[in-house]
Amino acid sequence: MFTIAGGGAVSASRDSMPGETLYPVKRLYEDAQMILTVSPSGKAERYLIISERRLKEFMASMNLGVIQPEVLSSMLESNRRAISLAGDIPESKRELIFAEIFSLCSLQGTTLSQCCLMPEDTA
């Protein structure tokens, strides 16, 4: 019964946003997935998925007029952790991980510069 209820809570929390009741469930599930991921390349991939989620959450909150620096900080920390794992990733997968990191960081930079910079900030 607890498994069904827990699975339902995790499923319901999938689209939750910071400040919502089920958001901590979402974050706990992400933490559990990270603990269960053994390989460095798997962990790096998981950090990139989390980082992309934080970007979406940050942008959604920005669209509502709410700035959540803790979400942005979590996104950047996930990027940093993915990069820090690169030395432990087998060389055959390292280039792919770096390409994914570069692509995500480029998307994040472009997205954030479009929404968060004022014209005088770009000078």
Instruction: State the pLDDT at residue 121.
Output: 46
Cα pseudo-dihedral 66, 59, 109, 100, rounded to 10: 140
Residues 95 and 45 in one domain: yes
- Which domain covers residue 108, as residue numbers? 40-117+119-123
Residues 48 and 30 in one domain: no
Contact 44, 82 (CB under 8 A): yes
* Residues in the chain with pLDDT values less than 50: 1-2, 5, 121-123
Residues 1 and 48 in one domain: no
Q: Work out how many domains the chain is built from and give that number.
A: 2
Q: What is the pTM of this model?
A: 0.82
Which residue is it, tokens 């005088």?
120
Residues 63 and 98 in one domain: yes
Instruction: State the pLDDT at residue 6.
Output: 54
Residues 77 and 108 in one domain: yes
Residues 19 and 53 in one domain: no
